[in-house]
Amino acid sequence: MVRKLQNFRVKIDGNGEVFYPGQQVSGVVIVVYVDQPMKLDQIKVKLEGLSYCYIDELVGDESGCETIYHCESQTLVNLQEILFRGSSTEKQPSGRRTYPFTFRLPSPLPSSFEGKKGHVRYYIEATVCRKSGRKDHVIRNPFTVNEIIDINLPQYSTAPHGTTRKRIGLIGCLCCVVGCVNMRASLNRSGYCPGEQIVLNASCENNSTRGMLCMRATLVQTFVIVLNRKRKRSQEQLHILMAGGFG
């Protein structure tokens, strides 16, 4: 007869979601056994951080081409702890049991990241190892790591700004200029923490005879993948904000 756990989960202390390099990550593994004692080999828990990325490259000649994928993964941190070690005769009694654990994140560590061509992920994994070659019970609880950066440094406190001027022509006759559109935009600083609002100040002066439908601001994430001496720059649009009602 196959015996299953009634409940098996990981509970991380505190908010259980966001941590910084050097901080302590603690919690408990909660196991609720069936109504009969179970014979176990061990209960273990690990904190692991992994990075993964890939680059796609189009190669070929006149006769044809193909896409080659270059990928690589790296273990950033791997900490393990045995919470319970069984014996040949010992059984875990039925009911609810908690097994505390404590890890300390090393420093430095890169921030958690999710992209179309790569990611950096951290998680707590607990395993209930059964005897006699039976299938183990495994559960993962992800969490976020934020790299410590002082945004009060001069390079992050500078307020970026930009201006642009575009000539507007008639459709089908770009040589006939009907006016210019001047746009200005600025931020209050260059660095922000997760959860903060990015305040954008933008203005537009329409000196043309054509109406404007809207203004659009796009938050773009730019990242560079370096893999096997190959370097590729990629961008993703994270958020688009639009404002309308212009004449």
pLDDT in tens, 82-128: 999 887 677 777 788 899 999 999 999 999 999 888 999 999 999 99
Which residue did the predictor score with more confidence, 165 or 11?
11
CATH code, 154-244: 2.60.40.640
pTM: 0.80
Determine contact, residues 91/37, Cβ cutoff 8 Å. Answer: yes
Summarised one tens digit per residue, pLDDT across range 186-211 is 998 888 887 888 889 988 888 887 77
The domains spanning 5-145 and 154-244 adopt the same CATH topology? yes
Residue 141 has pLDDT above 90, yes or no: yes
Report the pLDDT value the prediction gives residue 169, as an integer from 0 to 100.
Answer: 61
| Residues in contact with 206: Cβ distance below 8 Å, sequence separation at least 6, in sequence order | 179, 181, 212, 246, 247
Q: Does domain 5-145 fall into CATH 3.40.50.1370?
A: no
Please write the tens of the pLDDT for every residue from 207-244. Answer: 887 777 888 899 998 888 888 788 888 888 988 988 87
Annotated domain spans of the chain? 5-145, 154-244
Q: Which residue has the higher pLDDT, 145 or 179?
A: 145
